[in-house]
Amino acid sequence: MASYEVSGKLKVKMEEQSFSSGFTKREFVLTTEEQYPQDIKFELIKDKTSIIDKFNDNDTIKVSFNLRGNEYNGKYYVNLQAWRVEADATGASAPIPAPLDPMAAMPTATAASGPAPTNIDDIGEDDLPF
């Protein structure tokens, strides 16, 4: 599973919630620092609920998180499950990365491979690019 990172200012920390099953969670909101700031809600679960305690509102932090999704009674839910929160000394916002472009890693032809044939009859069987 891919993990993501985003930086911004801590806007609010909610109280820890405990459920009858013994499950605990705590939510907090981060405001990104970009042209159009976004308020993003994250959750910390189980033994991770206290990692936000050392930060105060308006502190610049970097959050590492995983995307979690589930279905309940025909409705679908998405959670951003934080697993690390640290001070961000740079103060710069790091937007959620876009998926990698598989074509970006493709090698390109260079002049070292020789000049390109100018006539279709000049291409031999072994010269085809596929």
85 found inside a domain: yes
Question: What's the predicted TM-score (pTM) here?
Answer: 0.66
- Enclosing domain of residue 68: 3-89
Token representation of residue 107: 């090698």
- Residue 6: the pLDDT is 95
Whole-number Å distance between alpha carbons of 108 and 57: 48
Whole-number Å distance between alpha carbons of 1 and 78: 15
Q: List average pLDDT for each run of 10 residues in the chain, which is 130 residues long.
A: 91 94 95 95 95 95 96 95 90 50 51 53 54
Q: Reduced to 3 states, what is the DSSP secondary structure of residue 107?
A: coil
The CATH number linked to 44 is 2.40.50.140
Domains in the chain, number: 1
pLDDT digits over 62-80, tens only? 999 999 999 999 999 999 9
